Chains A and B, each alone.
Chain A
Amino acid sequence: MNYKNIQSLLSTSQNKLSRWISYFGLGIGVLLLLCSMQMFVNIKHLLKENNPRKNGFDFISITKVITNENMGKDNSFKEDEIIDLKAQPTIEDVAPLIANQYRVKGSAGNIIPFSTDLFLESINNDFIDSVPPAFRWHEGQTDIPIIFSSDFLELYNVFAPSQDLPQLSDKTISSINIVIECYGPQGLQKFRGNVVGLTERINSILVPKSFMDWSNKYFSGVTSVNPSRVFIKTRDANNPDLLTYVQQKNYHLNKDKTKFGRIKKLLQSIISGLGLFGVLVILLALMLFSFYLQLMIAKSKDNLQLLLTLGYSPNWLSKTMASTWIPVYIGVVLVSILLVFVLQFAFVHFLFAEQGDLSYSLHWTVLLVALLLLFLSIYSNYRMVKKELYKIG
């Protein structure tokens, strides 16, 4: 048994236009969907490297919003508020930034004639982007390792020339000995500060937690300090639940840290929209083709009915009829893949060739979706023909 024998019994030549429109529509839909999928992957890849994430997490600082009403009041985070933050499903972990509770003064000794009041803070090492091995302190040690904010260094370098101070590079700052003077009821104690690393993430002057705990107790007698800001670790800083929670609690979120995430989100939303449009076009094309099939079956109803009466099984007929269009569907999907490949090639070659971090080839998920679409189209035709044949059988 083969299709050739029964082909002349079916009115396949009817409605050629709607058949060709449906092929064209399917091609456009598949192209849109595959293209947007590939762009989605490209954007994810491109923005990954600029995103200040660690192991797939966002680290963001939260403070309480200072308003005219709460100015001068205690705006630190209480223990129950930190517990509540930790309990949020969108927040993986919380770490308070503990500040010094005594006066600190810093100077660069005789090399750079510069002296200023300072503040020091400490945080769990897990929240620091890179922790150098030297970043540790034990009681009795006069050297304090410091992790300095890159932003602060930048600020210093901006105003240094006008103050006749030398500008400092990332490397030279680590060779400067900073004299740290701590004042307490027992009087003044001097330490030697060494910058052992820079941080992009935390705008502060960080010292080891062991030093902060000891010094707060030693110089001001305070054993537990409520932090004014906390850092949260989250999988997605753009999660609407998180943003709603933060807003409800009247906390201030460092939005700048999620800049890339937001750009990515925006671009991916646009591309998702495009992909969704592609899916819609595919559905419309498949529907149009199913109308064509329905019409063909309706016009060939008498012949099909007789074939079924003679003993042709609806299962065989639907399989055979649906498989007739397999080469056409393969052709449509292959042309779409080829076009997406050309677009990807042009995108990488003309826009991102120098960066060299985007692949010319298509992502495997794109090819997988193309295969799935092919299967879906053939299967939907098979189901439709079978349903119609059972109706007339």
Chain B
Amino acid sequence: MQINLKEIVPSYFERNSVTNSEIWGKTISFDEGSHIHIVAPSGSGKTSLIHFIYGLRKDYSGTLSYDDKNIANFSLDLFSSFRQTSISIVFQDMRLFADQNVRQNIEIKRQLAPYHPPEKIEEMANRLGIGNKLARITNSCSYGEKQRIAIIRSLMQPFKFLLLDEPFSNLDDNNRAKAMELIAEECAARKASMIFVDLKELDFFAGQRILRL
């Protein structure tokens, strides 16, 4: 699978204000298996880009396609099938079911297209240090814990691309390293790509493709 961006510019941006960007207004492709790190300061449209690729927003000009299929023409049902098997995501704002417990939040994604057995939830939670929080109502978890729940949830399904929108913003260095290790393992197991957007460059991506938005 390939994700192609052809002269994408958010409709709320002036076209001449994005001339320095390596993504906005350019033609660019993300191939399966390659990791892309997108770095940009606040307000440059990182979350918008992730939402455009995931199909949540359409307020842009240009063409965005999965392989040669323009996603502007996708139905909600077609997006669903891609979201079940080909594209997974960690939102910046996590987007968890606040009244459900941690396990339920992860399980609801796992059941949609089971890639791992249920025991894997416990294993991953232990690795990220939230193993004892599985029965807890999500609303009562801290931001850092919520971020780890969202990461584990995103890894429960098969995918070819993993979209990560500032997924470590509330994690300390230690937890950040653990999370990055887990994500990298899961991507490798699937031979999948990750598109990682953040405010600053991460050590993990040293020597790899880094784009400035």
User: Do residues B100 and A310 form an inter-chain contact, with CB atoms below 8 A?
Assistant: no
- Name A's interface SS: helix
User: Do residues A1 and B111 form an inter-chain contact, with CB atoms below 8 A?
Assistant: yes
Which of B76, B81, B107 has the most A CB atoms < 10 Å from its CB? B76
With a cutoff of 8 Å between Cβ atoms, the chain B residues found around residue A1 in the complex are 111-112
Judge if A311 is at the interface, Cβ distance under 8 Å: yes
In the complex, what distance in Å separates the CA atom of A308 from the CA atom of B112?
11
What sequence of 0s and 1s flags, for each residue 88-117 of chain B, a beta carbon within 8 Å of any chain A beta carbon? Answer: 000000010101100010011101110000
With a cutoff of 8 Å between Cβ atoms, the chain B residues found around residue A309 in the complex are 56, 83, 95
Q: With A309-B56, A310-B83 as known contacts, state yes or no: A5 contacts B108, CB within 8 Å.
A: yes
With a cutoff of 8 Å between Cβ atoms, the chain A residues found around residue B111 in the complex are 1, 5
User: Do residues A315 and B157 form an inter-chain contact, with CB atoms below 8 A?
Assistant: no
User: Do residues A311 and B76 form an inter-chain contact, with CB atoms below 8 A?
Assistant: no
With a cutoff of 8 Å between Cβ atoms, the chain B residues found around residue A316 in the complex are 80
In the complex, what distance in Å separates the CA atom of A280 from the CA atom of B103?
47
Q: Which of A372-393 contact B (CB under 8 A)?
A: 389-390, 393
In the complex, what distance in Å separates the CA atom of A8 from the CA atom of B99?
9
Partner of A393, one of B76, B104, B109: B76
User: Do residues A311 and B80 form an inter-chain contact, with CB atoms below 8 A?
Assistant: yes
With a cutoff of 8 Å between Cβ atoms, the chain B residues found around residue A315 in the complex are 77, 80
Nearest opposing residue in chain A for B87, CB measure: A311
Q: With A5-B108, A9-B100, A306-B95 as known contacts, state yes or no: A311 contacts B157, CB within 8 Å.
A: yes
Partner of A314, one of B76, B107, B113: B76
Judge if A352 is at the interface, Cβ distance under 8 Å: no
With a cutoff of 8 Å between Cβ atoms, the chain B residues found around residue A314 in the complex are 76-77, 80
User: Do residues B76 and A308 form an inter-chain contact, with CB atoms below 8 A?
Assistant: yes
Partner of A312, one of B56, B82, B100, B112: B112
With a cutoff of 8 Å between Cβ atoms, the chain B residues found around residue A63 in the complex are none
With a cutoff of 8 Å between Cβ atoms, the chain B residues found around residue A320 in the complex are none
In the complex, what distance in Å separates the CA atom of A393 from the CA atom of B104?
22
With a cutoff of 8 Å between Cβ atoms, the chain B residues found around residue A389 in the complex are 76
User: Do residues A313 and B76 form an inter-chain contact, with CB atoms below 8 A?
Assistant: yes
With a cutoff of 8 Å between Cβ atoms, the chain A residues found around residue B99 in the complex are 8
Q: With A1-B111, A5-B108, A393-B76 as known contacts, state yes or no: A311 contacts B83, CB within 8 Å.
A: yes
User: Do residues B97 and A313 form an inter-chain contact, with CB atoms below 8 A?
Assistant: no
Judge if B84 is at the interface, Cβ distance under 8 Å: yes
Number of A-B contacts (CB under 8 A): 49
Give chain B nearest CB distance to A313 CB in angstroms. 4
- Chain B interface bracket (under 10, 10 to 19, 20 to 34, 35 or more): 20 to 34
Judge if A303 is at the interface, Cβ distance under 8 Å: yes
Give chain A nearest CB distance to B100 CB in angstroms. 7
Judge if A6 is at the interface, Cβ distance under 8 Å: yes
Q: With A1-B112, A9-B100, A306-B95 as known contacts, state yes or no: A311 contacts B84, CB within 8 Å.
A: yes
Give chain A nearest CB distance to B101 CB in angstroms. 10
Nearest opposing residue in chain B for A310, CB measure: B109
With a cutoff of 8 Å between Cβ atoms, the chain A residues found around residue B83 in the complex are 309-311
With a cutoff of 8 Å between Cβ atoms, the chain A residues found around residue B104 in the complex are 8
Partner of A313, one of B56, B77, B95, B100: B77
In the complex, what distance in Å separates the CA atom of A273 from the CA atom of B111?
51
Partner of B81, one of A308, A310, A313: A313
Give chain A nearest CB distance to B89 CB in angstroms. 8
User: Do residues A390 and B112 form an inter-chain contact, with CB atoms below 8 A?
Assistant: no
User: Do residues B112 and A311 form an inter-chain contact, with CB atoms below 8 A?
Assistant: yes
With a cutoff of 8 Å between Cβ atoms, the chain B residues found around residue A390 in the complex are 76
With a cutoff of 8 Å between Cβ atoms, the chain B residues found around residue A311 in the complex are 80-84, 109, 112-113, 157
In the complex, what distance in Å separates the CA atom of A307 from the CA atom of B82?
14
User: Do residues A306 and B97 form an inter-chain contact, with CB atoms below 8 A?
Assistant: yes
Nearest opposing residue in chain A for B81, CB measure: A313
Q: Which of A18-52 contact B (CB under 8 A)?
A: none
In the complex, what distance in Å separates the CA atom of A284 from the CA atom of B132?
51
Give chain B nearest CB distance to A289 CB in angstroms. 24
Nearest opposing residue in chain B for A389, CB measure: B76
Task: Contacts A5-B107, A311-B82, A314-B77 known; list 12 others, CB within 8 Å.
Answer: A1-B111, A5-B111, A8-B100, A303-B97, A306-B97, A307-B108, A311-B83, A311-B109, A312-B80, A312-B112, A315-B77, A315-B80
Give 6 A-B contacts (CB < 8 Å), ordered by A residue: A8-B99, A306-B95, A306-B97, A309-B83, A310-B112, A311-B109
Q: Interface of A with B (CB < 8 Å)?
A: 1, 5-6, 8-9, 303, 306-316, 389-390, 393
Q: Interface of B with A (CB < 8 Å)?
A: 56, 76-77, 80-84, 95, 97, 99-100, 104, 107-109, 111-113, 157
Q: Top 10 closest A-B pairs, CB basis? A: A311-B83, A313-B80, A311-B84, A393-B76, A313-B77, A314-B76, A315-B77, A311-B80, A311-B112, A1-B111
